[in-house]
Amino acid sequence: MGANEMIVKIVSKNFDIPNSHKLEVALKHGRYESIDKAFSMTPNEITEEVCKSGLRGKGGGGAHCGPKWKLMPPVDERPRYLIVNGDESEPGTFKDRQIFQYDPHLLIEGIICSSYAIGAHDAYIYIRGEYKWFIDRLNVAIDEAYAAGIIGPKVMNKYDYRIDITVHRGGGAYICGEKSALIESVEGKRGHPRLKPHGKECEWFYDMPATVNNVETISSVPNIVLNGYESYTKYGTEKAPGTMLFAMSGPVKNPGVYELQYGCKMIDVINEIGGGMKDGLKLKAVIPGGASCPILTAQEVENAYLDYESMWDIGSTLGTGGMMIIPEGVSMVDVAKNLIEFYHHESCGQCTPCREGTGWIDKILKKILEGNGSQEDLTTILDVCETMNGKTVCVFAPAVKDIIKSIVEKYKDEFIAEFNK
């Protein structure tokens, strides 16, 4: 597949238009066109359309969006909420900020369609605190939308449906990207993930029904509403239809964010869209979708395809689609140390295996890097990984196990070489 076939601009369609973030420009380029169509449909019809599109959550999990909306209980007198997850803290991920920067009105349009579909009147957008500039940019767009009567007591000045949108600025905690921790945070508490229910159900914000969706997921809705699900399913794979904003970072010639259809071959994306490695460097490994995905060796990258199922087949995950490219010459022990410092710092501290496990591995890797390691230390790391896996409230600890175990197992020689330095 060539670059032209791989790149499909649905969410990023307006990104290159000058001043695309301003309402005046946005309106000239199709923003809010889906609203009339949405309000000519019933909420259930929109949900069905989104179900048929196969739209999957772009925040990392890849859960189906339509079925998630259906978890909301039938409309009753209780308030209902849409909470949009823009915490974007997974290392290697910097895609949602493109939407805040270049097409904030697309997100607002998506929020209107999605809120109407799930019967919500209040939407909160949780954005990581570091994105101050992007938050300001989005708030200007929200103010424009209020002033123009697009949101507020009525939608587009004519539809009798109240929508209020509020941006909630985070405070620098990675774990608040976990949806239940995010809600805890908006409720004014530490971002500790909640225990998962026994069956599938919606989320609860102050004990009221709520849905949490990623920024890019919500931004994918207007196209599906306006142009029908076929406009989405004609791209991507059967199980992962449509597109996603893939990010590339590290020493490639053109790092950045590119909207690609699912199922592209990873090495083609790196070479043809990323421009290949720069400065004559050689590819050593790729962490495919944010730090929490098992690492792929250069050889594995040759056979990797960018969709959820293909990545699972080769023992990794697609995650957020944020590929971190690692060149030859970078020590994998340093990579593991760097990432475990991240996790050690960001563990919320609620569960013992995670709080202690991340710190323990951090200490062992420090010891190895100081030349005092032994085979026993590697065994301990893998043991600690197992202790963290499946024994905690959220998937943070299993993710740590995934990435650390994959690095230690695939690059064992590099760890052993440190023992006697």
Partner 1 sequence: MGKFKYTPENEEKFQITAKKYPKIDSMMLPALWLVQEQEGWVSPDAMIYVAEKLGKSPIQVYEFATFYTMFNLKPIGTYHIELCKTLSCMIMGAPELKKFIKETLGIEPGQTTPDGKFHLSEVECQGACGGAPMIALNHQYHENLTVEKLDKIIKECK
Site for partner 1, rule CB under 8 A: 79, 88-94, 97, 122, 128-133, 164, 166, 168-174, 185-191, 205-206, 208, 247-251, 255-257, 287, 291, 322, 324, 326-327, 330, 334-335, 338-339, 341-342, 345-346, 348
Question: Exposure of 22 by Cβ count < 10 A (0-12 exposed, 13-18 middle, 19+ buried)?
Answer: middle
Nearer to partner 1, 50 or 393 (CB): 393
Q: How far is the CB of 78 from partner 1 (least distance, A)?
A: 11
* DSSP letters spanning 128-168: -TT-HHHHHHHHHHHHHHHHTTSSBSSBTTTBS--BEEEEE
Q: How far is the CB of 186 from partner 1 (least distance, A)?
A: 6
Nearer to partner 1, 130 or 309 (CB): 130
End-to-end CA distance of the chain, in Å?
Answer: 45
Distances (CA, A) of 9 to 28, 112, 223, 245, 282: 17, 21, 11, 9, 30
Nearer to partner 1, 83 or 311 (CB): 83
Nearer to partner 1, 49 or 96 (CB): 96
Q: How far is the CB of 45 from partner 1 (least distance, A)?
A: 29
- Are the CB atoms for 21 and 137 separated by under 8 Å? yes
* Cα–Cα distance, 192 to 169 (Å, whole number): 17
Q: How far is the CB of 52 from partner 1 (least distance, A)?
A: 32
Q: How far is the CB of 204 from partner 1 (least distance, A)?
A: 12
Contacts 24+ apart (CB under 8 A), 294-298: 294/402, 294/403, 294/405, 294/406, 295/326, 295/335, 295/403, 295/406, 295/407, 295/410, 296/266, 297/410
Distance from CA of residue 197 to its chain's centroid? 22
Nearer to partner 1, 55 or 264 (CB): 264
* Cα–Cα distance, 220 to 242 (Å, whole number): 9
- Are the CB atoms for 255 and 249 separated by under 8 Å? yes
Nearer to partner 1, 88 or 272 (CB): 88
Nearer to partner 1, 172 or 197 (CB): 172
Report the DSSP beta bridge partners of residue 191: none
* Cα–Cα distance, 402 to 389 (Å, whole number): 9
Q: How far is the CB of 233 from partner 1 (least distance, A)?
A: 29
Cβ count near 17 (within 10 Å): 14
Nearer to partner 1, 37 or 137 (CB): 137
Q: How far is the CB of 369 from partner 1 (least distance, A)?
A: 14
Q: How far is the CB of 68 from partner 1 (least distance, A)?
A: 22
